[in-house]
Amino acid sequence: MARLSVNVNKIATLRNARGGNVPNLLKVAADIEKFGAQGITVHPRPDERHIRYQDTRDLTKTVTTEFNVEGNPNQKFIDLVIETKPDQVTLVPDAIDAITSNAGWNTIKNKEFLSEVITEFKKHGIRTSIFVDPVNEMIEGAALTGADRIELYTEAFAEGYTTNKEKAIHPYIEAARLANKLGLGINAGHDLSLDNIKYFNENIPNLLEVSIGHALICESLYFGLDNVINMYLNKLS
């Protein structure tokens, strides 16, 4: 069964919109775990427009499931990850002004840089994952960096799912098969939702983890957070 890690960025966005501490990020994260999620994900960005760096420090002390910190490995981010020592770090090539993640790494062009960063994180016992598009060359490049896992960038799948789901899933199946062959664990995330997660999970061999935030929080407005988390868990079982 693939594990569900809930990205709580949108909870922080809602809190920051009014200032103060409502909703309380730490309590929501604890409730998400209580409702059955197997992990918490955060993605602090340089402008701290949703998750703040201090949130990451605070969550490190309270998260009891798997804690995944993702982001672009600039020096401030690297220092934060080494300080907080999450269970997993996911490297994402975000531009500073990116609204959301919109591309995977070119693991060939950035091999030396990624290898150095990954080596440093693994010295501290942190599992490493690289955000990649479902392109064989990028999967092969990820394996050469020493990463433990890849996270498949699933926006293209989500966009194509409603019109031709077989075509949309095909490159992800091929990427997963190659990753399995190369000994890379497989995570996935971006625009996965209650509508498409079951089909994705059923077709990706050895999928270990999905990270879902935006869709899950939006769906919770209608069905409630507890219900939605368990709906995801049922679809992933």
Secondary structure of 97-118 as H, E, C letters:
CCCCCCCCCCCCCCHHHHHHHH
Across 228-236, average pLDDT: 98
Quick one: DSSP state of residue 37?
-
Structure tokens at 116: 């150095």
Give, in order, the Cα–Cα distances in Å from 21 to each of 14, 67, 69, 225: 10, 21, 21, 19
Which is nearest to 209 in space by CA: 90, 52, 59?
A: 90
Across 94-101, average pLDDT: 61
**Res. 22: pLDDT tops 60:** yes
* Candidate list 33, 43, 151, 209, residue with the active-site label: 43
Give, in order, the Cα–Cα distances in Å from 147 to each of 90, 119, 202, 230: 10, 9, 25, 31
Residues 191/161, Cβ–Cβ less than 8 Å: no
Beta-carbon contacts of 140 under 8 Å, excluding residues fewer than 6 positions away, are: 107, 178, 182
For residue 34, name the pLDDT band (cuts at 50, 70, 90): very high
Return the sign of the alpha-carbon dihedral for residues 111, 112, 114, 119: positive
pLDDT tens track for 50-70:
999 999 999 999 999 999 999
Quick one: DSSP state of residue 213?
-
170 given a catalytic annotation = no
Quick one: DSSP state of residue 226?
H
Residue written as token pair 């690289």: 130
**C-alpha span between 76 and 157 (Å, rounded):** 32
Name the pTM for this structure: 0.95
Which backbone phi and psi does 167 adopt, to 5 degrees? -65, -40
* Candidate list 33, 50, 66, 190, residue with the active-site label: 190
Across 26-54, average pLDDT: 96
**Res. 94: pLDDT tops 90:** no
* Candidate list 70, 151, 209, 219, residue with the active-site label: 70
Residues 197/174, Cβ–Cβ less than 8 Å: no
Which is nearest to 39 in space by CA: 187, 227, 218?
A: 187
Residue extents of the structural domains in the chain: 3-236
Q: Report the alpha-carbon angle 214-216-217, nearest 5.
A: 70
For residue 119, name the pLDDT band (cuts at 50, 70, 90): very high
70 given a catalytic annotation = yes
For residue 97, name the pLDDT band (cuts at 50, 70, 90): low
pLDDT tens track for 173-207:
999 999 999 999 999 999 999 999 999 999 999 99
The CATH class that applies to domain 3-236 reads: alpha beta
**Res. 91: pLDDT tops 80:** yes
